[in-house]
A and B are shown apart, each in its own frame.
Chain A
């Protein structure tokens, strides 16, 4: 059932300040729309509950990448294309650049934004495990001011987040501390581009001489939210990667996830694949590999 444009309000105030003022005036009444790659799909299907939309597409304040010595600040309105083409994202945050290249076709990469992907909060989104692995922090903005929140605390349940009704994501900060880390990422789906993942993993680690100094493992499509495997990471730290440790890590990883059966896959298949991907990452990490 196609939606009727006469029933929807859309405004484009043009500045971040004006947008947050509008959100503050009627909290929860206005739905922000950036590149429309999620919102317009719901609209086309007649399933968009919001009737008042405010455009944040191409707001200059949200479309910048700022680089400082300690971190990179990615404006929430940066598109996947912006991310793929940014030299520092490519060089220092390959998990994110790679996921950006997996997300939809070129036209959707030109319009879909990182902030939109986070707020849409699909546990199957490909870029979100990368943000978890890099310990991203979000800058949330409202008329009340700004606050910073660890991204790993942002999703509270399936499609539920800590974003207040009058808030927007302004930017995503990634610490620049991953030189020398092995970056590993794989998406398992019907095909790489344009197919939503059955399982997707982002791994990051350092293991000089085969001993785990730091490790981060994040998975998509295996729980109601994108998930960091905290237990698995804890048991790996400081240990030498050998077959008994691999077996234990795999078992712990499978116990940590909560996959479901849905149209794309089954819980059983997802658990099997997730365990195998964790193992593949750790084998590479133990072997001293540096690149995916």
Chain B
């Protein structure tokens, strides 16, 4: 405590109000500016799809999309998400209907324990947005920041390839 006073930080930081869009809805939260986006999503907004794995940007289980870019939400201070457009795994299934990536993960057995799955699917969604017809190498690279300790990855890569095929059929 003494240390923070010496460094000139107000002894009591006050909560601030800040808004951003989550899964298409404008949300306002009361937070400390260095609160992590991950904690705000999980604890204040009840969106527990993003998981905390390593807490240091290595495992990808907290992945979300921020203004269309895949990010590790454990490394985003909430102030930097002010007015941003955030998409979590909960935002992928519209009106209770699964996204075709989610369908493909189910069909291909792309999940076992499920901890990495939300991050995997958002990383895959980001990849398919940039590269609608990825090669296997591109799929592997696109998901290289997302660790899975169960599947050995093969079914996950197959699921992403399958979703890409379905999308190309749906939108020729």
Contacts and interface: CB of A to CB of B under 8 A. Distances in A.
B145 A104 contact: yes
A106 B79 contact: no
A51 B33 CA distance: 12
Given A106-B70, A193-B144, A37 B57 contact: yes
B145 A8 contact: no
Interface in B114-160: 123, 126-127, 141-142, 144-146
A106 B144 contact: yes
Contacts of B141: 106, 193
Given A29-B7, A106-B123, A10 B79 contact: yes
A179 interface: no
A108 interface: yes
Contact of B145 (A5, A51, A57, A106): A106
Chain B, interface size: which category? 35 or more
B56 A44 contact: yes
B74 interface: yes
With most chain A CB atoms within 10 A of its CB, the pick from B8, B63, B82, B123 is B8
Given A107-B63, A110-B69, A40 B9 contact: no
A124 to B, nearest CB: 15
Contacts of A68: none
Contact of A36 (B35, B69, B75, B123): B75
A107 B142 CA distance: 9
A177 interface: no
Interface in A1-37: 2-3, 5-12, 26, 29, 33, 35-37
A194 B58 contact: yes
A58 B71 CA distance: 14
A194 B144 contact: yes
Given A41-B56, A107-B60, A9 B77 contact: no
A53 interface: yes
Interface in A88-113: 104-108, 110-111
B102 interface: no
Contacts of B58: 194
A75 B26 CA distance: 31
A107 B80 contact: no
Interface string B1-43: 0011001111011000000000000000001111110000000
B91 interface: no
Nearest to B13: A6
Interface of B: 3-4, 7-10, 12-13, 31-36, 55-58, 60, 63, 69-72, 74-77, 79-80, 82, 123, 126-127, 141-142, 144-146
Interface of A: 2-3, 5-12, 26, 29, 33, 35-37, 40-41, 43-45, 50-53, 55, 57-58, 81, 104-108, 110-111, 193-194
Given A10-B33, A106-B126, A194-B58, 11 more contacts: A7-B13, A8-B9, A9-B34, A44-B56, A51-B8, A104-B57, A106-B70, A106-B141, A106-B144, A111-B76, A193-B141
